[in-house]
Structure 1
Amino acid sequence: MTDLILQQRDGAILTLTLNEPERRNPISDIATVDALIAAVEAADADIEVRCVILTGAGSAFSSGGDLKKMVPGGGLRDERPVQTRRNYKTGIQRIPLAFQALEVPVVCAINGPAIGAGLDLTTMCDIRVAAESARFAESFVKLGIIPGDGGAWLLPRIIGFPMACELALTGRTIDAGEALRIGLVTHVVSDGMLMAKAHEIAAEIAANPPHATRMAKRLLREGQTATLPNILDMSAAMQALAHATADNDEAIKAFLERRTPNFTGQ
């Protein structure tokens, strides 16, 4: 059986590739859910991995759910609604929860269409870079369903409530240029330069002290829902940890000596 998630390590950067190009990389199958979660959780557990890049094989990033299996008994959808609910909770809904818990930064390299749950998967990542051929659609309403994988929580936090409403309620497709304009992605590059740009950003992240980087990401994630007093308390506690690292001492010493720091993750 072909690996559902390809893994390629380049120093401190780990590239994960959704690997069902003939099916346009759907993420609704339980085997894919398990493989993706296992891969990102393993990366999170390894402090030597300082950044993850997520992309798709072939011409699409991800088609989201497999429409051929969206019939009673075909996959997520069961003949009994109560079982369909459980299928979502024990299946695709585990992905946003896993990504929300990650401390390792994730850069999404969107190599082609990201449709439905595929679009929502991009919003689970921290930074999004798109190829010019990328297309995006929060297209659930076109199928008579709703975002079942957390899109109603994720999308407004990135592009704002009004624009999220427009995309989710019309189901229309936008191109990479519009995605950049509304803030869904931070960069659009030629298809041939996509992975180079993603690696450039990942390398900038990976060059920083890993513990500080991970704690900074944790604070940013918590800041999506926490109050300011709670974030300040958490920031004070994490800052105490950061000050106790050898990397903090090295950063200050290198600054005073006007040289490039050598961070070891200690």
Structure 2
Amino acid sequence: MTTSAPHAVGRWFQPSDTDPEAGMRLFLFPHAGSGASIYRDWPPLLPADITHQTVQLPGRQDRLGEAGFTEMEPLVEALCDAFVAEHDGRPYAFFGHCMGAQLAYRLTLALQERGEQTPLLIGASGWAPEGFLVVTAEQARMPEPELLGWIRSLGSVPKEIMDDPQALATVIPAMRADLEVVASYVDDGAAVRIPVVTYSGRSDQLMEAGAMDSWLPRTPDYLGNSEFQGDHFYINDNALPITLDLTRHMRRLAAAARR
């Protein structure tokens, strides 16, 4: 039986301080095995009225000494507790890539269930409720040489880390934990009550053609999919158009909520 980490005490949201003058907040969720630093190029692209924070899960970067979660439900529960403590009442949106999109979706459902303020919008990149490659528990636990080969084939870890054994040693435990989280997930078909907009790579090797259409029954307002040249990690080269699109939707939805 897999075990899950106890309530972690590190910072779930980075940076710890946000601009109090910004009218809206954007919470960013990294992909499996990664940490807050994958969005380091995004802050200069966001307008002054949107302040950002990135989710930092236990077991990576400055939370390296904490045990990672290995099951979806306890992770979402702990993340929900942390988010409720962090949220200050301003309108906000979620954006996540791959496992990050999955977490943004499940966190929104948890907030709905608790009667908390929900996001204006979910931006889901590189993941869909159906038609996405399902990771098994056996794959999550495969021997390290096979795991490294799979990671290399996806291009999910920079070459300089793949070629640095010391750096790689810090990435593998987080990747394994996250893959176990994904493998533990059982889809229940639940729908969020807010709009969803999606983004994908044209040659994403992890998604079936038309997979983003599976969002249609999961939201009352599916805002469509923007497709970019590239594979699963198309996102690395498309921060500007994605942030521009998110900004447009966030401002429109915030204005409509005020009316």
TM-score interval (norm. to shorter): 0.3 to 0.5
| Higher relative contact order, structure no. (Cα contacts within 8 Å, ≥ 6 residues apart) | 2
More helix by share: 1
TM-score between both structures, scaled by the size of structure 2:
0.36
The TM-score normalised by the length of structure 1 is: 0.35
